[in-house]
Amino acid sequence: MSSLREECGVFGVYSPERYDVAGMTYYGLFSLQHRGQESCGIVVNDDGLFRSYKDTGLVVDVFTKDRLKNLGQGCMAIGHVRYGTTGSNDRSNAQPILVNHVKGRMALAHNGNLVNSYELRTELELQGSIFHTTSDTEVISYLITKERLTSPSIEEAVNRAVSRLKGAFSLVVMSPQKLIAVRDEHGFRPLCYGQTADGRYVVASESCALSSVGARLIRDVEPGEIVVFDKDGPRSIRDHCGKAERSLCVFEYIYFARPDSEVDGCNVHVARTRAGAYLALEHPVQADVVIGVPDSGLDAAIGYSRQSGIPYEIGFIKNKYIGRTFIAPGQESREDKVRIKLNPIAEVVRGKRVVMIDDSIVRGTTCARIVHLLREAGATEIHVRVSAPPFIAPCYYGTDIDSKEHLIACRHNAEEIAQIIGADSLGFLGIDGAKKMACGGEGRGYCTACFDEEYPTEVPVAMDKNRFERRLSEKRNSKD
């Protein structure tokens, strides 16, 4: 169980007639809630009239029945769930972003992280732009708006703006008459679209969101592709396709995406069970039972069990009513939080040699506490196996790791980490195994920079999450 968090999920719907697109978007966001729990928002387009609501909190709490009713019906809507990798958690940074300009209104939602947002924002500010948020999504909206002034169409403005963006971005953009899906040329973050039986087109970060509203997956948006949905149906702009090496974040398969989703043609559950099988081949051990740490460790545990022949059991019960927003009363006690969220089934592990499968180890503190819980429950041996390679580098594309400072694998090898977390042994999945877990690694490219420091893009100048929110004393190269 890691402390990793991914920044957001996007959703959009285009309907040929007025419909409850707000309700559809609500269900789509609900199914993408795992991608972000800080804030959420919906914008409905009713024949060019935009109605919106967004706030901090979970989808089920933010969108009451009355708020959804107030959004009303429309022909289009876009939505967003957020965990911010750029900008703090407050209402101003909630998405979608709504823009009013001389060429018409526009709404935009963004999944990813730009590596050149600092430079772009500085350039825009020097030209007179005034920013109301600290997220890099507003930078994208300014660029599109600026290009719209001289472009014949919204899609052409988006096409021009995309050429200036570097890094990870999967976007849904809504104009008065069009819904536009955009994926960066590397394809860092997933994006797909489908269609309902009654002809509504749906765009989402993951295919599980399509299923939740009764849409059939048509295909993934290709890296660099812009897909435009309007009264004539979908059409593709491929000016940016094939310009960069495909670099889908491999951690989408390891942790971020929901097991029932298909990402770039590969089912996430199948990928995770395959990772577990590779893990069993790379790090075999004599044991009595295999268990997984909920949730993303469960699929890999099944794969490890099948490959090794060691029986699989449900070793932990997870409290389904405590989300990532849970705050312990009084002093901050991570150990108490772990106990309340996760409880071992003593009858499964007592007196047994246990293989415990987790999706990652970042700092090691949470893993150590889980191992301790198993010891208390009576496990005689605990062999930790991790379905990801060791984290040794920051991520600039949307994962909440912006420095090496707290990465335990930067300071210790596997044997030392095993001692620190209290395990009898520890094994990480190799980088080759991580690349092969999805579709067997057949002809596809993956970003593994957080494991090997081989970045597909330039490393950004300013990289910390709150880079636009520093105190005066913390600002670099300040002239004041």
* Contact by Cβ (8 Å): 139, 191: no
| Beta-ladder partners of 228 | 180, 235
The runs of H, that is alpha helices, within 267-332 are: 268-282, 296-308
Quote the tokens at residue 372.
């301790």
**Which residue's entry shows tokens 């150590």?**
368
* Run of H or E including 382: strand 381-386
* 367: annotated active-site residue: no
Q: What is the CA radius of gyration of the chain?
A: 23
Between CA 12 and CA 110 the distance in angstroms is 11
pLDDT tens for residues 207-226? 999 999 999 999 999 999 99
pLDDT at 144 over 50: yes
DSSP string covering 33-45: GGG--SEEEEEEE
Between CA 2 and CA 251 the distance in angstroms is 12
pLDDT at 442 over 90: no
Between CA 189 and CA 394 the distance in angstroms is 17
pLDDT tens for residues 325-383? 343 343 345 556 677 788 999 999 999 999 999 999 999 999 999 999 999 999 999 99
Quote the tokens at residue 273.
């069970």
Between CA 153 and CA 159 the distance in angstroms is 10
Q: Which of 8, 208, 447, 450 is catalytic?
A: 8
Quote the tokens at residue 299.
């699929």
Note the pLDDT of residue 88. Answer: 52
pLDDT at 464 over 80: no
Cβ atoms < 10 Å from Cβ of 149: 10
